[in-house]
């Protein structure tokens, strides 16, 4: 079989860094390609980096077919869930993936709702005995997205803002860990030229820019609003470095709680499997 590369799927997940790619290459050269590549018919779905390394060094590899895929959206959802389950994925990447999943699921839900409405209009079926109407529901609230990404709702809001208003340079700085999600969402409110200049200035300038924006916002608010913001009553972004650190600590606590719950669930599954064997 001639494996086909779909450029959309290859670019759908953020690429490995140079150091990550080098580490994977060393591992494959030393131990071979242990994990099978996942295919959708002849299209490569998972294992683009492994495939490239194996091709370059003439290393044999195995493939496995996923027969559940019917559309490219099915493939994308599988890719998202697969990467959300990996602990090496950063918080920013996790949030981006969860938001992509929301868009796909919401689009499918809208399409299904339109189909149901068209069928109801053309067929006009009798009313259900219990009086219930046709409905299509999908869980795409910010809380649902945050739960899927194991992040706080506030972090998801910040990632959405970064996606909408940040320049490519600022987005890359977040991906590289040069600036936190919290600070990047603040800097993203600047004009594009100022964002680019802040990124070019490095980590310290980015942090300083975020700090100055928060201080300007705090100074422009009435005294009562500033007190409410300090108390966290309006759900706004932190206005000082101390508040920023508190928010980030809270995000870590929430993520830790989610990971513990996930760990307990995995333990229960393992216990059930052991009991059944």
Position 68 confidence tier, pLDDT thresholds 50, 70, 90: very high
Nearest Cα residue to 84 out of 273, 257, 272, 255? 255
The pTM of the full predicted model, rounded to 2 decimals, is: 0.67
pLDDT score for 50 = 96
Q: Rounded mean pLDDT of the chain? A: 81
Nearest Cα residue to 201 out of 235, 225, 173? 173
Q: How far is Cα 99 from Cα 162, in angstroms, rounded to an integer?
A: 12
Q: Does 173 score more than 90 pLDDT? A: yes
Q: Does 209 score more than 50 pLDDT? A: yes
pLDDT score for 80 = 94
Phi-psi region of 266 (alpha: psi -120 to 50; beta: other; left: phi over 0): alpha
Q: What is the pLDDT of residues 86-140, one digit of tens each?
A: 877 889 999 999 999 999 988 888 888 787 777 767 665 555 444 444 444 455 6
Nearest Cα residue to 154 out of 95, 209, 210, 208? 95
Domain residue ranges of the chain, discontinuous segments joined by + = 7-70, 91-265
Q: What is the pLDDT of residues 156-170, one digit of tens each?
A: 999 999 999 999 999
pLDDT score for 53 = 97
Helix (H) or strand (E) holding 45: strand 43-46
Q: Are 38 and 46 in contact (CB under 8 A)?
A: yes
Q: Are 44 and 71 in contact (CB under 8 A)?
A: no
């Amino acid at each position: 079989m001639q494996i086909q590369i779909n450029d959309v799927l290859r670019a759908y997940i953020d690429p490995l860094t140079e150091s990550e790619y080098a580490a994977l290459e060393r591992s494959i050269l030393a131990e071979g390609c242990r994990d099978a590549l996942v295919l959708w018919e002849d299209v490569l779905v998972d294992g683009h980096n492994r495939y490239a390394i194996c091709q370059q060094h003439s290393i044999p590899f195995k493939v496995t077919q996923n027969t559940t895929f019917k559309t490219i959206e099915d493939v994308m959802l599988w890719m998202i869930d697969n990467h959300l389950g990996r602990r090496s994925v950063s918080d920013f990447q996790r949030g981006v993936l969860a938001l992509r999943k929301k868009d796909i699921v919401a689009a499918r839900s809208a399409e299904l709702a339109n189909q149901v409405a068209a069928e109801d209009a053309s067929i006009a079926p009798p009313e259900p005995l219990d009086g219930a109407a046709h409905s299509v529901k999908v869980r795409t609230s910010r809380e649902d997205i945050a739960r899927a990404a194991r992040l706080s709702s506030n972090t998801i809001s910040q990632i959405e803002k970064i996606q909408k208003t940040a320049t490519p340079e600022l987005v890359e700085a977040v991906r590289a860990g040069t600036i936190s999600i919290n600070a990047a969402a603040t800097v993203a409110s600047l004009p594009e030229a100022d964002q680019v200049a802040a990124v070019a200035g490095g980590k310290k300038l980015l942090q300083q820019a975020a700090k100055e924006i928060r201080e300007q916002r705090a100074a422009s608010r009435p005294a009562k609003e500033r007190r409410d913001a300090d108390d966290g009553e309006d759900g706004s972004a932190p206005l000082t470095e101390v508040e920023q650190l508190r928010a980030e600590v809270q995000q870590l606590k929430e993520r830790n709680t989610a990971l513990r719950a996930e760990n307990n669930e995995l333990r229960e599954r393992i216990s059930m499997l052991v009991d059944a064997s």
